Chain A
Amino acid sequence: MIIVEILHFTLAVFLLLNLGAGMWRVLRGPTAADRMMAAQLFGTTAVATLLLLAQATGTSAVRDIALMFALLAAISAVAFVRLTWPEEENKDDLA
């Protein structure tokens, strides 16, 4: 393995560890917004990881997957804000 490839894979491992650590916020909350935010960060982390993999393995098509994630990054957060945000914070309605 050439040195650039090792660097990219090491960084990808590091980002995955970051993602694992961020799971703590999803598990702990305390508010639903905190959990959603952490999940949003995972999306960005996955994009960065995919871009690193694409460069390390020389597979240009992997960037398309990162592009897909980037395009759809907002969907679950939007669904959360519009629909699922529970009344645990208070009883106000979303509409």
Chain B
Amino acid sequence: MTLLDYLAATLLLAGAVFFLAGTLGLLRFPDVYTRLHALTKADNVGLGLTVAGLAVQAESWQVVGKLVLIWMLVLLAGASVAHLIARGALHKGIRPWTP
């Protein structure tokens, strides 16, 4: 394995850790808003690191471009959905968790 392969593997593993963190947060956090926070970490950072890891190994710049495009589309969808759900939840009277 070359140095680039190691870099890619590290990024991919870090991405997987964020997916795990997102799932754990989704399972363990106390209310809608905190779970939403955990979810967006998996969306943004988990997929971001996965895309970065794959981009390092990519065979051409076109592939890198497609990977980044996919990431940005997921970011856009994730951000909009998180906003819509959070605002809807507030509007519907789901109260944020207080420790």
Contact = CB atoms under 8 A, between A and B. Distances in A.
Given A18-B23, A24-B27, A33-B94, A63 B67 contact: yes
Given A31-B32, A44-B46, A70-B74, A37 B26 contact: yes
A33 B42 contact: no
Interface residues of A, number: 43
B96 interface: no
Interface size class of B (residues with CB under 8 A): 35 or more
B10 to A, nearest CB: 11
A60 B44 CA distance: 23
Contacts of B35: 25, 34, 37
Q: Is the interface of B mostly helix, strand, loop or mixed?
A: helix
A90 B92 contact: yes
Interface of B: 1, 5, 8-9, 12-13, 15-16, 19-20, 22-23, 26-27, 32, 35-36, 39, 42-43, 46-47, 50-51, 54, 57-58, 63, 66-67, 69-71, 73-74, 76-78, 80-81, 84-85, 88-89, 91-94
14 contacts: A3-B1, A4-B1, A22-B23, A31-B94, A38-B26, A38-B39, A44-B47, A47-B74, A55-B54, A60-B63, A70-B70, A73-B73, A74-B80, A85-B92
The 10 closest A-B pairs by CB, nearest first: A73-B77, A70-B73, A74-B77, A89-B92, A77-B81, A81-B84, A70-B70, A90-B93, A18-B23, A48-B50
Interface of A: 3-4, 7-8, 11, 14-15, 18, 21-22, 24-25, 31, 33-34, 36-38, 40-41, 43-45, 47-48, 51-52, 55, 60, 63, 66-67, 70-71, 73-74, 77-78, 81, 85, 89-90, 92
